[in-house]
Structure 1
Amino acid sequence: MLSSVFAAFQSPTPEGVQQRPPRYAGEDTTPTSRREILGWYSYGIAAEVFAVCGVGSFLPLTLEQLARERGVLQTSRESCVGASSGNSTQDASGQCVVPILGLEINTASFAMYTFSLAVLIQALTLISFSALADYENNRKTLLMFFGFAGSIASMLFVFIAPPVYILGAILVVVGVTCLGSSFVVLNSFLPVLVANDPSLQDGKANEGAELSSFDREDSDWNAWGDNDSLDGLNPSGAQAQGSPEGGEHKAPSSSSPELQLSTKISSKGVGLGYCAAVFVQIISIVLLITLSKTSLAKVSATLPMRFVLLLVGIWWAAFTFVSRHLLRARPGPPLDVSTSGGKWRAWMGLVRFAWKSLWQTVKVAVKLREVLLFLVAWFLISDALATVSGTAILFARTELHLSTPLVGLLSITATLSGMAGAFLWPHVSRYFGLQSNHTIILCMALFELIPLYGLLAYIPFIQKWGVIGLQQPWEIFPLAVVHGVVGGGLASYCRSFFGLLIPPGNEAAFYALYAATDKGSSFIGPAIVGVLVDATGQVRSGFFVIAILILMPIPLVWMVNADKGRNEGLAMAETLKSHGQEEEAEGLLRNETD
């Protein structure tokens, strides 16, 4: 049914459009149709719902509550549910803890540790398997595999009762890994769709009305197309979209028709994904309120949330099926499987090649001072974003005692604010004449207000007031607006600023390093906060860590000189070209797959 709805809007391939010559045997150069673009959009609609409603809202709450229903108070050894009022992680009888591997862990820390592990495994998966998508039919196969596997993991939560809460942690790891990996594979479709777009095949490139209107608002479209921070732990991929491989790297104002078209498609996909996430989040809140009035909530406080995760999983699977029906396979070059070991050996060769390529890019990056400074800063920024997202949800539930529907409303507030922020920051930057790194610093300064405000409650006279410093539930909603607006600016401006520093012709390799830096750091902050919560029994103590994480990258961003970095990148590109880097990479790949 869903596929028929999408198919109703499809249009046939325009008549008279010539297919471009294939670059390798078996390449599908069929002109991109509207049907195929809808298929690309449909997967964003599918997976963004899990990113916002699952990872960003109900998964942390469900995991913490599952552990709580099996936990005991550290001092009295009574059941947390029976003896503790509300959902606080600590009362007069001590912390609510659960035994794991011989250790007693705070239930909130258990959720933080789980997401920390999930992001780490996701980073390793992204690096290891991203190269596979470029060969044969692996692009579509991997997208479908990750999509359906992740949706099944979400649906299986309906069967995770408190006695098997550890299985819930495993499903979180599977879901988060599949989510991030599928977005990376989805992004790999975009350059292929753009390369075969009919508007570019005849050399016209829509230089008339369509692209002229886009070019006039280039920075706004870039903010939309590059924004991927509003999904809880930001697992929605961090690859560059649409940079023409091997082409001249230009500033946004003079970007190529391919890059303009790519960003336009990407921006619409992001917008549709967020709209779908808000829609399902509203349905989820209604479902939670309805189920809380039934006997299900009395059986287990997690059951209403587990039914929401079932709904999210069904949505993910349904629109993944639509994407499967509408997207063409667009096969990549064939793998050489003539030697012993066949396809499995070729695949393992690609995995080794991916890690070696990343290491080669790291060795080049350390020679570029501005790139290195910014990557270290981005490492800290992305970790801070991930830590704030995970900590805020658990703090709202365990310290402020927000009901599950209100937590869902909190997520909607942050998401809508992020959508507004993506459009707001380009105007703010132009109005005040800010450079990109100055805009990033301004975002970080506003971001610092969130943990500082939460730490005000440690001041005795403010604590006595019972308000200010996140002591009342309503106080977290204005901070959610700040988080969303700042997050929208940070994701788009950090990526575009990094793009200015990349050696032209090496965009794919450096954005892969950018993605690895993003995902590779996002497990550190949540793990540290988990340790601190274990030591203190209070999620609020995590604000100390967050405040430090946000401050650390500010001087690094300030030190980055964009003009100097651009000149270094141009010089490095010439050096790499003279040394025949491309031929060396191709030779390495042949050796790995032979």
Structure 2
Amino acid sequence: MAETVTPTPRTAPGSTRRERTGWYFYDWAMSAFSTTVLTVFLGPFLTSVAKLAAGCELGADDCTGYVYPLGIKVAAGSYFPYLVSASVFLTVFVLPVVGAVADRSAHKKRLLAVAAFVGAGATIGMVFVTGDRYLLGGALFMVANIAFGAGVVVYNSFLPQLGGPDDRDGISSRGWALGYLGGGLLLALNLVVVMMFSRDGDGQRTLDLARASIVSAGVWWALFTLVPLRWLRERPTAEAAAGGGNVLLDGFRQLGRTLRQIRAYPLTLFFLLAFLVYNDGIQTVIALASQYGTEELNLEQDTLIVTILLVQFLAFGGALLLGALAKRIGAWKTVLLSLVLWTGVILAAFWLPAEAPVPFMILGAMIGLVLGGSQALSRSLFSQLIPEGKEGEYYGFYEISDKGTSWLGPLAFGLVFQLTNSYRVGLVSLLIFFVVGFALLAAVPIRRAIVAAGNTPPRVL
């Protein structure tokens, strides 16, 4: 029997606990890709595969060979950061269209399913990246990362429909918290496997275990996506529920109208600019932390996994903690505070000694306390700035720099490394994103911006 869908007014959103739990579980599902793949295994894995293609031996840290994707000379150590940047370049064109189609569709759950299963399938396809097949690995990563971003656009567009202005910070924070818990659980399982089966000095075994961990994230992503597909309700706008016309073509037309009309909301654009800048720095730290640990600090893979696992579980508590703080001082002030803490993290990371696991783990604990809250509250704060009926489109623009799909940060990191052959110098280049992002966000008159978008501000900002 076909599911009945009814439009729900934006001004009086309501949702059941079951529906909200279903929404939380997509964060649980997709965080396996964000954590196990992007944050821990894929950077070192593809870097090792690229080094093999460049003629280096496994475990040869002093090898600075080159690969030639599409005939372009690229240092093997810069291959993964460049891939991240390339995938984001493509998302600039893809994600706003996905958002526009989601706003026009009466069946957003189907769009969520397509994005999730395509991304999970590409991740599982990493099982075929053996030997020196760095091009196959790069192609699969780009498909998975773009599909990941598309899924998050559709997922985020449900948020304004699940609660009113005073509820969204809490809903968003609980979603992020559960995501970190799920990602941490899978990472813990992978940690057990790596510790049980790895062998000192066996680079091929390490590569095989990394590949298996990446594939496990794809399976996890696909499996737990079934929960939100079951429990979420379709809540289309009145226009989408009326049907008629071609959804894809109408989505393109609507996107064109939004791009022409978006200048009517300059404060929303200004917030988005601030977010794009500071979140670029956050996502670069997340995406390249493991590569920094292995290549610059000479840390073992199990040390990196333990540290990221620590980050995950502390981020679970950190998201809830900053969510509670936002109730007292407001989401805007809480995000500004988190950016100050991020600046301290970068400065501390620059001075970390090599081959010293404990200081690296302490830094990971600092990251965990600010990571989840800064992301969750940015998402809920942005939901207040979106004109009614444009949630998918605006979250399409938002997602361009979210969830590990940043491009300026990885590009700067990769270029600085290629010029200096130093990951530490590359890390310092990320400070500009947090300093400038803080200044831009502090300049946003947030309450006036919410009213200008036609929404009711929460009691505390």
TM-score over 0.5 for the pair: yes
Assess, with a 3 A threshold, how the Cα gap between structure 1 residues 473 and 440 changes in structure 2: closer, same or farther: same
Please, which of 515, 520, 529 is the counterpart of residue 398 of structure 2? Answer: 515
Alignment map for 1:225-240 (pairs within 5 Å): 240=159
Structure 1: distance between partners of 2:391 and 2:80: 34
Assess, with a 3 A threshold, how the Cα gap between structure 1 residues 52 and 509 changes in structure 2: closer, same or farther: closer
What is the deviation of 1:518?
Answer: 3.5
Assess, with a 3 A threshold, how the Cα gap between structure 1 residues 113 and 265 changes in structure 2: closer, same or farther: same
2:459 matched residue in structure 1: none
Structure 2: distance between partners of 1:37 and 1:515: 22
2:182 matched residue in structure 1: 276
Is the aligned partner of 1:242 residue 2:242?
A: no
Counterpart of 2:145, as a letter, is V
Structure 2: distance between partners of 1:351 and 1:153: 26
Report which stretch shifted further, 285-294 or 507-516. 507-516
Is the aligned partner of 1:81 residue 2:50?
A: no
Structure 1: distance between partners of 2:413 and 2:433: 11
Counterpart of 2:183, as a letter, is A
Higher relative contact order (CA 8 A, sep 6+): 2
Please, which of 151, 164, 167 is the counterpart of residue 120 of structure 2? Answer: 151
What is the deviation of 1:264?
Answer: 6.0
Please give the per-residue CA displacement for 1:373-395, whole angstroms capped at 9, x wherever unaligned.
43332221111111111232210
Alignment map for 1:287-436 (pairs within 5 Å): 287-293=193-199, 299=204, 301-324=206-229, 332-333=240-241, 335-337=243-245, 343=246, 346-361=247-262, 363-366=263-266, 368=267, 371-425=268-322, 436=331
Query: What TM-score comes out, normalization by structure 2 length?
Result: 0.83
What is the deviation of 1:157?
Answer: 0.7
Secondary structure at 1:443 match in 2: helix
Would the aligned equivalents of 2:331 and 2:377 in 1 still touch at CA under 8 Å?
Answer: yes
What is the deviation of 1:530?
Answer: 0.8
What is the deviation of 1:22?
Answer: 4.7
Counterpart of 2:188, as a letter, is I
Would the aligned equivalents of 1:95 and 1:537 in 2 still touch at CA under 8 Å?
Answer: no
Report which stretch shifted further, 380-389 or 326-335. 326-335
Would the aligned equivalents of 1:503 and 1:570 in 2 still touch at CA under 8 Å?
Answer: no
Query: What TM-score comes out, normalization by structure 1 length?
Result: 0.66
Counterpart of 1:318, as a letter, is L
Secondary structure at 1:241 match in 2: helix
Assess, with a 3 A threshold, how the Cα gap between structure 1 residues 498 and 333 changes in structure 2: closer, same or farther: closer
Secondary structure at 2:65 match in 1: strand
Report which stretch shifted further, 167-176 or 554-563. 554-563
Please, which of 396, 413, 422 is the counterpart of residue 538 of structure 1? Answer: 422
Please give the per-residue CA displacement for 1:228-267, whole angstroms capped at 9, x wherever unaligned.
xxxxxxxxxxxx53377xxxx85x3xxxxxxx4x666655
Please, which of 359, 365, 377 is the counterpart of residue 481 of structure 1? Answer: 365
Assess, with a 3 A threshold, how the Cα gap between structure 1 residues 294 and 311 changes in structure 2: closer, same or farther: farther
2:11 matched residue in structure 1: none
Assess, with a 3 A threshold, how the Cα gap between structure 1 residues 510 and 395 changes in structure 2: closer, same or farther: same
Would the aligned equivalents of 2:176 and 2:376 in 1 still touch at CA under 8 Å?
Answer: no
Structure 1: distance between partners of 2:181 and 2:233: 25
* Larger gyration radius, structure 1 or structure 2: 1
Is the aligned partner of 1:112 residue 2:84?
A: no
Assess, with a 3 A threshold, how the Cα gap between structure 1 residues 507 and 401 changes in structure 2: closer, same or farther: same
Would the aligned equivalents of 1:69 and 1:162 in 2 still touch at CA under 8 Å?
Answer: yes
Would the aligned equivalents of 1:61 and 1:397 in 2 still touch at CA under 8 Å?
Answer: yes
Counterpart of 2:192, as a letter, is V
Please, which of 297, 319, 337 is the counterpart of residue 442 of structure 1? Answer: 337
2:458 matched residue in structure 1: none
Assess, with a 3 A threshold, how the Cα gap between structure 1 residues 358 and 413 changes in structure 2: closer, same or farther: farther
Secondary structure at 1:101 match in 2: helix
Structure 1: distance between partners of 2:203 and 2:337: 47
Structure 2: distance between partners of 1:61 and 1:336: 48
Structure 2: distance between partners of 1:21 and 1:318: 25
Counterpart of 1:349, as a letter, is D
Assess, with a 3 A threshold, how the Cα gap between structure 1 residues 263 and 429 changes in structure 2: closer, same or farther: closer
Assess, with a 3 A threshold, how the Cα gap between structure 1 residues 506 and 41 changes in structure 2: closer, same or farther: closer
Please, which of 82, 86, 100 is the counterpart of residue 131 of structure 1? Answer: 100
What is the deviation of 1:109?
Answer: 1.0
Would the aligned equivalents of 2:29 and 2:222 in 1 still touch at CA under 8 Å?
Answer: yes
1:56 matched residue in structure 2: 39
What is the deviation of 1:165?
Answer: 1.1
Structure 2: distance between partners of 1:455 and 1:294: 28
Assess, with a 3 A threshold, how the Cα gap between structure 1 residues 494 and 470 changes in structure 2: closer, same or farther: farther
Assess, with a 3 A threshold, how the Cα gap between structure 1 residues 103 and 122 changes in structure 2: closer, same or farther: closer
Is the aligned partner of 1:174 residue 2:135?
A: no
What is the deviation of 1:80?
Answer: 4.1
Counterpart of 2:155, as a letter, is L
Structure 2: distance between partners of 1:504 and 1:352: 17
Gaps of 5+ in 2: 9-13, 456-461
What is the deviation of 1:95?
Answer: 2.1
What is the deviation of 1:100?
Answer: 2.7
Would the aligned equivalents of 2:106 and 2:241 in 1 still touch at CA under 8 Å?
Answer: no
What is the deviation of 1:276?
Answer: 2.0
Please give the per-residue CA displacement for 1:275-300, whole angstroms capped at 9, x wherever unaligned.
222111111111122332499x5646
RMSD: 3.6
2:192 matched residue in structure 1: 286
Structure 2: distance between partners of 1:298 and 1:545: 31
Assess, with a 3 A threshold, how the Cα gap between structure 1 residues 42 and 558 changes in structure 2: closer, same or farther: closer
Secondary structure at 1:95 match in 2: coil
Secondary structure at 2:67 match in 1: strand
Please give the per-residue CA displacement for 1:142-161, whole angstroms capped at 9, x wherever unaligned.
22211221111111111111
Structure 2: distance between partners of 1:53 and 1:399: 20
Counterpart of 2:264, as a letter, is V
User: How many residue pairs end up in the alignment?
Assistant: 444
Structure 1: distance between partners of 2:16 and 2:322: 33
Structure 1: distance between partners of 2:152 and 2:5: 29
Counterpart of 1:386, as a letter, is Q
Structure 2: distance between partners of 1:509 and 1:290: 44
2:350 matched residue in structure 1: 455
Assess, with a 3 A threshold, how the Cα gap between structure 1 residues 65 and 352 changes in structure 2: closer, same or farther: farther
What is the deviation of 1:134?
Answer: 4.0
Over the matched positions of the two proteins, sequence identity in percent amounts to 25
Structure 1: distance between partners of 2:6 and 2:48: 54
Is the aligned partner of 1:67 residue 2:50?
A: yes
